[in-house]
Amino acid sequence: MTTLPIETDEHHSDHHHDEEHPDHRLFGLATFLVADGMTFAGFFAAYLTFKAVNPLPTGAVYELELPLPILNTVLLLVSSATFHQAGKALHQNATNRCRNWLLITAALGLAFLVSQMVEYFTLPFGLTDNLFASTFYAATGFHGLHVTLGALMILIVWWQTRPQSGRVTHNNPFPLEAAELYWHFVDGIWVILFVILYLI
Amino acid sequence: MTVATSPQVVAPKPRLQPTGWLRYFSFSVDHKVIGLQYLVCGFIFYLIGGLLAGAIRTELVSPMSDFMARDVYNQVLTMHGTIMIFLWIVPVVNGAFGNYLIPFYVGARDMAFPRLNAVAFWLIPPAGLLLITSYFLTGAAQSGWTAYPPLSITTPAAGQIVWILSVLLLGGSSIFGGINFIATILKLRRPGLKLMQLPMYCWAMLGTSLLVVLSTPVLAGTLVLLSFDIIAHTGFFNPTLGGNVVVYQHLFWFYSHPAVYIMVLPAFGLVSEILPVHARKPLFGYTTMVYSIMAIVFLGLIVWAHHMFTSGTPPWMRLFFTIATAFIAVPTGIKFFNWLATLWGGRISLNSALLFSCGFIVNFVLGGITGVALAQVPFDIHVHDTYFVVAHFHYIVFGGSVFVIFASVYHWYPKFTGRMLNENLGRLHFALTFIGFNLCFGPQHWLGLNGMPRRVAEYDPQFTLINQISSAGALLMAISTLPFLWNVIQSAIAGPPAGDNPWNALTPEWLTSSPPPVENWTGEAPLVEEPYGYGVPVEDFDLTAISGRDLWSSGK
Ligand code: HEM
Ligand SMILES: [Cu+2]
What secondary structure, in 3-state letters, does A45-103 show? Answer: HHHHHHHHHCCCCCCCCCCCCCHHHHHHHHHHHHHHHHHHHHHHHHHCCCHHHHHHHHH
User: What proportion of chain A, given as a percentage, has pLDDT over 90?
Assistant: 76
State the pLDDT confidence band at B347, using cuts at 50, 70 and 90.
confident
Amino acid identity for residue B483 in this structure: P
Segment among A181-190, B235-244, B405-414 with least mean pLDDT = B235-244
Question: What pLDDT does B196 receive?
Answer: 92
Q: Which residues of A touch B175 (CB under 8 A)?
A: 32, 35
Mean pLDDT of A71-96: 95
Element (H, E) at A6: strand A6-7
Write the pLDDT tens digit of every residue in B203-214: 999 999 999 999
Question: What pLDDT does B2 receive?
Answer: 39
CATH topology of domain B28-522: Cytochrome C Oxidase; Chain A (1.20.210)
**A42 vs B251: CA distance, rounded Å:** 7
Question: What pLDDT does B542 receive?
Answer: 53
Tell me, in angstroms, the distance from the centre of ligand 2 to residue B183's CA.
Answer: 28
Element (H, E) at B468: helix B464-494
**Residues counted in chain A:** 200
User: To test ligand 1's pocket by mutation, which of B260, B319, B325 has the most ligand atoms within 8 angstroms of CB?
Assistant: B260
For chain B, the structural domain boundaries read 28-522
Sign of the CA dihedral A3, A8, A9, A14?
Answer: negative
pLDDT at B540 over 60: no
Cβ proximity of B38 and B121 under 8 Å: yes
Give the closest of B1, B236, B551 to A6, CB-based. Answer: B551
pLDDT at B253 over 70: yes
State the pLDDT confidence band at A21, using cuts at 50, 70 and 90.
low
- The answer for A 126-145 residues in CB contact with B (under 8 A) is 127-128, 130-131, 134-135, 138, 142
DSSP one-letter code for B310: T
Residues with CB under 6 A from ligand 1: B 146, 260, 263-264, 306-307, 325, 328-329, 332, 368, 371-372, 374-375, 380, 384, 389, 392-393, 396-397
For chain A, the structural domain boundaries read 29-54+66-199
Q: How far is B288 from chain A (nearest CA, A)?
A: 21
pTM: 0.91
Question: What pLDDT does A199 receive?
Answer: 92
Question: What pLDDT does B20 receive?
Answer: 73
Question: What pLDDT does B345 receive?
Answer: 86
User: What proportion of chain B, given as a percentage, has pLDDT over 90?
Assistant: 84
Q: Which residue from B minimizes the CA distance to A46?
A: B247
CA atoms within 13 A on the CB side of A89: 20
pLDDT at B548 over 90: no
Where b means 16+ CB within 10 Å and e means fewer, B91-105 reads: bbbbbbbbbbbbbbb
CATH topology of domain A29-54+66-199: Four Helix Bundle (Hemerythrin (Met), subunit A) (1.20.120)
State the pLDDT confidence band at B539, using cuts at 50, 70 and 90.
low
Of the two residues B97 and A11, the one the predictor is more confident about is B97
Tell me, in angstroms, the distance from the centre of ligand 2 to residue A40's CA.
Answer: 23
Question: What pLDDT does B543 receive?
Answer: 53
Q: How far is A136 from chain B (nearest CA, A)?
A: 11
- The answer for A 39-58 residues in CB contact with B (under 8 A) is 39-43, 45-46, 49-50, 53-54, 57
Question: What pLDDT does A166 receive?
Answer: 80
Question: What pLDDT does B16 receive?
Answer: 53
**B175 vs B214: CA distance, rounded Å:** 9
Question: What pLDDT does B8 receive?
Answer: 44
Question: What pLDDT does A58 receive?
Answer: 85
Mean pLDDT of A42-71: 92
Question: What pLDDT does B18 receive?
Answer: 65
Mean pLDDT of B409-429: 96
Radius of gyration of chain A (CA): 23
Write the pLDDT tens digit of every residue in A104-142: 999 999 999 999 999 999 999 999 999 999 999 999 999
Segment among A54-68, A145-159, B181-195 with least mean pLDDT = A54-68
User: Following DSSP, what letter does each residue of B242-299 receive, concatenated?
Assistant: T--HHHHHHHHHHHHHHHHHHHHHHHHHHHHHHHHHHHTSPPTTHHHHHHHHHHHHHH
**B210 vs B204: CA distance, rounded Å:** 10
Mean pLDDT of B256-279: 96
**A28 vs B117: CA distance, rounded Å:** 12
Tell me, in angstroms, the distance from the centre of ligand 1 to residue B10's CA.
Answer: 53
Among all bound ligands, the one having the nearest atom to the CA of B389 is 1
Mean pLDDT of B191-203: 94
Question: What pLDDT does B117 receive?
Answer: 96
